[in-house]
Amino acid sequence: MGLPPNARRYFAEKRLDSAYKFLAGVQDHRFKEGQEDRREFQKFYNNLALFSGGTIALSITYLGYLKTLGKPLHGLKLLAASWISLFACLLFSLIYVLGNLYYSFHYREREYAEANKKKFEAELKEFPELDMVNLQTPEELAEFQNPRREAIRITTERSEHHKGRGDRYLTLWQWAGRIAQLGFATGIGMLLWFAILNT
């Protein structure tokens, strides 16, 4: 013998509500963790830029010290390539931070435009179903719907604009991070090689 229809509906609603709450909790945790990760990456690339600049300054000092020893220097092109690589790391670390900020801005603006669009679409669909007193005649309905249709068009354009900009900054952000990491590792490696050649 099964449960009555009202009981089945009740338990189905409870299970759905539980699933929705669980998903909302996971999404909230994921969002907060993502925000924290972004802040940590931003700190990492700020530090990478500082380390690159500091390494260039220290290697210039080291070069001055080597010149005072009176021995011939080997691998000066290697040293110059190291400086170029470290400077590229510094530059792309800063681009990473700016790309991240611009991407976040355009992502949030797009999200806001999409939320507004959904609100206007819901108003268009649901308000006429509520049998409101001031939405009875076709003229009243048109007066209510036309501004919302225009708002949907505007928010759609705004969303597409921010999506395009956000996608460009996302690509820039990702590549800047890769190049900065590669530049730092390559620059340090070449600097170490130069130091070994001149010991």
Annotated domain spans of the chain: 1-31, 41-197
Percentage with pLDDT > 90 across the chain: 37
Compute the average pLDDT of residues 156-169: 94
- What CA–CA distance (Å, rounded) separates 41 from 96? 9
Secondary element (H or E) of residue 132: none
Q: Is the pLDDT of residue 74 over 80?
A: yes
Predicted model pTM: 0.72
Write down the residue that tokens 């669980």 correspond to: 22
Measured CA to CA in angstroms, residue 13 lies from 18, 83, 159 at distances of 8, 64, 34
Instruction: State phi, psi for 136 to the nearest 5 degrees.
Output: -100, -45
